[in-house]
Structure 1
Amino acid sequence: MTINQQNSLGYLTNMIARQFAQLIGQELAPLGLNPAYLPVLFELWDGQELTQQELTEKSSVSQATMANTLGRMERDGLIERLPNPNDARSRLIRLTSAALAKKDNCVAAAQKINNGVLEALDEQEIKAWLDIMNKVVQRQKQMLG
Structure 2
Amino acid sequence: MEKPENTPIDVENNVGFLLAKAYQRACLIFKEHFDQYDLTPQQFGLLCFLWREDGISQAVLSAKSQIDRTTMGGLIDRLQKEGLVERRPDPADRRAYRVCLTEKGKALGPELAPIALRAQGEFIAKLEQHEVETLKSLLNKIRN
With structure 1 as the length reference, what TM-score do the two structures score? 0.86
Q: Is the 8 A contact 1:49 1:92 kept in 2?
A: yes
Deviations, residues 53-81 of structure 1 (Å, cap 9, x unaligned): 11111111111110110000000000011
Greater Rg over alpha carbons, structure = 2
Q: 1:22 to 1:50 in 2, by over 3 A?
A: same
In the alignment, structure 1 residue 63 sits paired with structure 2 residue 69: yes
Q: Structure 1: which 5+ runs fail to align?
A: 139-145
Q: Is the 8 A contact 1:51 1:91 kept in 2?
A: yes
- Give 3-state SS (helix, strand or coil) of 1:6's partner: helix
Q: Is the 8 A contact 1:28 1:35 kept in 2?
A: no
Q: Structure 2: which 5+ runs fail to align?
A: 1-6
Q: Is the 8 A contact 2:29 2:123 kept in 1?
A: no
Equivalent residue, structure 1, for 2:52: 46
Equivalent residue, structure 1, for 2:109: 103
RMSD: 1.7
- Give 3-state SS (helix, strand or coil) of 1:102's partner: helix
Q: Which of 13, 18, 37 is residue 12 of structure 1 equivalent to?
A: 18
Structure 1: 4+ residue segments shifted above 4 A = none
**Count of residue pairs brought into register by the alignment:** 138
Q: Is the 8 A contact 2:87 2:100 kept in 1?
A: yes
Q: Is the 8 A contact 1:24 1:109 kept in 2?
A: no
Q: Is the 8 A contact 1:80 1:95 kept in 2?
A: yes
In the alignment, structure 1 residue 84 sits paired with structure 2 residue 90: yes
Alpha-carbon distance in structure 1 between the residues aligned to 2:53 and 2:62: 18
Equivalent residue, structure 1, for 2:3: none
- Paired letter, 1:93: V
